[in-house]
């Protein structure tokens, strides 16, 4: 190739490079995909077992699962159900002391069985109310197989104390070698008229051979207040059961009223 031909070839190459699209040869820009949306799984009963003998473990006050009585066993009284942080991840029942003269007691109804029974609940104090549960009275009262009414007190588990969302929580428990066979009510209240929070009410059967592993709570005679509260709850249950249901109104015939 002579010198003229070589110069012409170089000139063609340079011109071709100058006119080329600058983006040629570059990798395409790929926009990142947004993260995939996932559903947050939330158990209906939180950390509580499904095999729970409480008629209304979520404390909805539907039917006759729960009652709340003020002083003089008045009905209704002041309480509220809130969805906030709790040790079991379930709704909380708030029993406001200042709004209830003489205090208020919550009663939860259980399905009974003549088997060893474990009972527990979480009680809380609102922020600023400290963590003193000395004024709390929490128990199970029921009719047992021998025909006697008995009560079993739940005791605090000191190792369970914790603070969630500004609320000081503690678990109260009791183990029975034999559960009641007739009516049975769980009761929790504060005799000092301080605000009390309640959640995670659980009653579950224990293995039949649990006697060697558990120190069972000792039953006692129910106090006069416990008897009267249970009687008030039974009476209220009967009233709800006998209350007439409203009949749906029938649409009037077009000719009626002419």
Each of the 258 residues of the chain gets a pLDDT tens digit; together they read: 555 554 545 545 444 445 555 555 555 656 667 766 655 455 678 889 989 999 999 999 888 899 988 877 777 688 889 988 999 999 999 999 878 777 889 999 999 888 899 999 999 999 877 889 988 999 999 999 999 999 999 999 999 999 998 999 999 999 999 999 989 999 999 877 789 999 999 999 988 766 556 678 999 999 999 999 999 999 888 887 776 666 666 655 555 444
Tokens of 152: 């079993």
Burial class (CB in 10 A: 0-12, 13-18, 19+), 129: middle
Q: What is the pTM of this model?
A: 0.75
User: What 3-state class would DSSP assign to 47?
Assistant: coil
For tokens 């990798």, name the residue. 27
Of 64, 42, 39, 57, which is closest to residue 121 (Cα–Cα)?
57
The b/e string for 150-187 (b: 16+ C-beta within 10 A; e otherwise) is: bbbebebeeeeeeeeeebbbbbbbbbbeebbbebbbbb
- The pair phi, psi for residue 210, each rounded to 5°, is -80, -5
Backbone angles phi, psi at 4, to 5 degrees: -65, -45
CA distance 258 to 249: 20
Q: CA-CA distance, 149 to 48, in Å (whole number)?
A: 28
Which three-class secondary structure state does DSSP give residue 121? strand
């Amino acid at each position: 190739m002579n010198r003229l031909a070589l110069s012409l070839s170089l000139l063609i190459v340079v011109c071709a490079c100058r006119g080329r699209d600058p983006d040629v040869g570059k990798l395409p820009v790929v926009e990142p995909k947004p993260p995939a949306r996932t559903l947050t799984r939330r158990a209906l009963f939180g950390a509580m077992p499904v095999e729970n003998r409480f008629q209304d473990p979520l404390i909805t006050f539907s039917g006759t699962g729960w009652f709340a009585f003020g002083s003089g066993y008045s009905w209704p009284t002041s309480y509220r159900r809130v969805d906030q942080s709790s040790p079991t991840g379930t709704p909380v029942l708030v029993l406001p002391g200042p709004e209830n003269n003489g205090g208020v007691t919550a009663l939860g109804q259980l399905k009974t069985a003549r088997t060893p029974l474990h009972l527990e609940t979480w009680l809380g104090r609102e922020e600023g109310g400290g963590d003193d549960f000395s004024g709390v009275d929490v128990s199970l009262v029921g009719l047992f197989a021998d025909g006697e009414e008995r009560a079993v007190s739940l005791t605090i588990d000191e190792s369970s104390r914790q603070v969630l969302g500004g609320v000081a929580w503690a678990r109260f428990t009791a183990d029975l070698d034999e559960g009641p066979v007739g009516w049975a009510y769980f009761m929790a209240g504060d005799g000092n008229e301080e605000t009390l929070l309640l959640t995670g009410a659980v009653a579950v059967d224990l293995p039949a051979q649990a006697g060697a592993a558990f120190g069972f709570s000792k039953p006692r005679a129910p106090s006069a207040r416990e008897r009267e509260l249970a009687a008030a709850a039974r009476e209220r249950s009967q009233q709800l059961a006998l209350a007439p249901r409203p009949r749906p109104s029938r649409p009037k015939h077009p000719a009626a009223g002419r």
